[in-house]
A and B are shown apart, each in its own frame.
Chain A
């Protein structure tokens, strides 16, 4: 339900970067992709982010760019195995190897803008 406000923050933050660094879009270059890292426990729905992105990016320097979402699994630290283990499901926070309950989360809540991909003008025309 809050995907629109999340996507609006993405557009706002990337636009701020582009304004602060005008050389990034010099000579007609454009943003081709905005890449996010989203953890399995981030409480957002990918389809909904994609749907909202089209609306939020309209009329900005990001119009027409694609939102690329990399989903990250939950990684917990198991004290008994003394190892980081990836969870296949978020229905149980027990170690898949030894069954120990785990509380030490190492990955899975990420909600980050990883990078943007910029395409130069001449290349874009040839496409």
Chain B
């Protein structure tokens, strides 16, 4: 049987990766710090982001947000109440955001006028890990109600994250959240990662978080 092997050696997501590289260049040139927020549905990404946007706005920083959702614009409406520019990306069934969607929704925004751009991904801990959106910082969020072993169950996402945020700390005691185990599991999967223990409701940990954002923005890369 005559067969021939033709080497291709190409990335399956190369189109997304190329677009993401282009976006990253654009973001760096504009001096805007871009973060990609990833978690399960219900972790409290939107509440955490609302609080972050409000805190940044009060400190005089200019922030904006893109928010991914399958069908609704509920999150965008909630976030817009923080008084910053917000745009909704409806993926219509697609379980993650892609660089192309981000690029399209940035049209008309002057990136140079922004200090921070937050991209709230679709609630999903699997698929978003494969798609680079051109962000500088990927944030994995985990709430105290989700189980301390979540990082072990979703190592791909936690291993690719640059920072981890634990949300809903105000109810940690009531749900018997095992803090030590959660921190240990995050560190097993991503040794040395910065971890923020927060409550969007009580404001816990928000100063550490926004200090981190300022510090990261200062480090131009």
* Chain B residues whose CB sits within 8 angstroms of the CB of A42 once the complex forms: 130, 156
Closest to B7 in A: A115
| B4 pairs with A103, CB closer than 8 A | no
User: Cβ of A19 < 8 Å from any Cβ of B?
Assistant: no
User: Cβ of A77 < 8 Å from any Cβ of B?
Assistant: no
CB contact under 8 A between A113 and B6, given known A43-B129, A101-B187: no
Question: For the complex, what is the distance from the CA of A102 to the CA of B189, rounded to whole Å?
Answer: 9
* Chain B residues whose CB sits within 8 angstroms of the CB of A114 once the complex forms: 7-9
User: Cβ of A2 < 8 Å from any Cβ of B?
Assistant: yes
Question: For the complex, what is the distance from the CA of A96 to the CA of B82, rounded to whole Å?
Answer: 47
CB contact under 8 A between A93 and B126, given known A14-B8, A117-B4: no
User: Cβ of A91 < 8 Å from any Cβ of B?
Assistant: yes
Closest to B193 in A: A103
* Chain A residues whose CB sits within 8 angstroms of the CB of B3 once the complex forms: 32, 117-120, 123
| A91 pairs with B96, CB closer than 8 A | no
- Nearest-Cβ distance from residue B81 to partner chain A, whole angstroms: 31
Closest to A42 in B: B130
- The digit string for A8-20, where 1 denotes a CB below 8 A from any CB of B, is 0110011001000
User: Cβ of A81 < 8 Å from any Cβ of B?
Assistant: no
| B94 pairs with A116, CB closer than 8 A | no
Question: For the complex, what is the distance from the CA of A36 to the CA of B204, rounded to whole Å?
Answer: 46
Point out the residue from B10, B13, B188 that lies within 8 Å of A93, measured CB to CB.
B188
Point out the residue from A2, A6, A90, A111 that lies within 8 Å of B159, measured CB to CB.
A90
Point out the residue from B14, B156, B187 that lies within 8 Å of A43, measured CB to CB.
B156
Closest to B152 in A: A91
- Nearest-Cβ distance from residue A71 to partner chain B, whole angstroms: 14
Question: For the complex, what is the distance from the CA of A42 to the CA of B127, rounded to whole Å?
Answer: 9
| B10 pairs with A91, CB closer than 8 A | no
User: Cβ of B174 < 8 Å from any Cβ of A?
Assistant: no
Question: For the complex, what is the distance from the CA of A101 to the CA of B1, rounded to whole Å?
Answer: 49
Closest to B125 in A: A43
User: Cβ of B25 < 8 Å from any Cβ of A?
Assistant: no
Ordered by A's residue number, 19 sampled pairs between the chains whose C-beta atoms are within 8 Å are A1-B95, A2-B96, A9-B13, A13-B8, A17-B6, A41-B160, A91-B188, A93-B159, A93-B190, A103-B190, A103-B192, A109-B160, A111-B12, A112-B10, A116-B6, A116-B8, A118-B6, A120-B3, A120-B4
Further pairs besides A32-B3, A91-B189: 17, Cβ < 8 Å: A1-B126, A2-B95, A2-B127, A13-B10, A13-B12, A24-B6, A36-B12, A42-B130, A91-B188, A94-B191, A105-B159, A114-B8, A115-B9, A119-B2, A119-B3, A122-B2, A126-B1
The 5 closest A-B pairs by CB, nearest first: A101-B191, A2-B127, A43-B156, A90-B155, A120-B2
Question: A residues near B, CB below 8 A?
Answer: 1-2, 5-6, 9-10, 13-14, 17, 24, 32, 36, 41-44, 90-94, 101-103, 105, 109, 111-120, 122-123, 126-127
